[in-house]
Amino acid sequence: MIRVFSLLLAGLMFLSACTETSSPSSQLGADGLPLPKVYRIRNAGKVQFRMLDSVNSLRTAAGVAPVQMNAQLTAASATHSRDMSKQNRPWHFGSDGSSPIDRVQRAGYPGQMLGENISETYETELETLAAWMDEKGTREVLLDKAAVNMGFSWFQEPSGKIWWTLVMGG
């Protein structure tokens, strides 16, 4: 099982590298490390479905039923991604004090909110998914057996920083 996840994640990482913009590798930051490559989201319509397909591949490999994209959960995700950018911090509470449950209810989702994954990064959606799979808590959200719906969105700042939000519902 771990071998399947490892191979799948390696493949996702390889594919995600194909969409990054190129920048000279000689650019180093003050710490001597290479500066992050800025990933510019170009085909926004494809990003959501790449994430959905990738999540469902991981769920299938784990023996869990696939999920469907849900417009209300996606709206709640989009609202939170933009709000995290406005607050300039990745956390699960909105600037108005709202919780993930509050946002999902406001968006009109009739089911139960099961979990929310967030990220602040310059990386692709597939690199973000790989990072979520590496952490027990965020992996549990992605592979929740009770999940039937998924919402996924982002907000990209002019600097290139991306605020990702994924919500699972059942």
For residue range 55-113, list pLDDT tens digits in order: 999 999 999 999 999 999 999 999 999 999 998 878 788 878 899 999 999 999 999 99
pLDDT above 90 (res 115):
yes
Q: How many CB atoms lie under 10 A from the CB of residue 25? A: 9
What residues contact residue 120 under an 8 Å CB cut-off, 6+ apart? 84, 89, 90, 161, 162, 163, 164
For the entire predicted model, the pTM comes to 0.78
**Neighbouring-strand partners of residue 130:** none
Average pLDDT score, the chain: 86
Cα(170)–Cα(168) distance, integer angstroms: 7
For residue range 50-59, list pLDDT tens digits in order: 999 999 999 9
The burial class, CB within 10 Å (0-12 / 13-18 / 19+), for 166 is buried
Higher-scoring residue by pLDDT: 152, 34: 152
Higher-scoring residue by pLDDT: 156, 14: 156
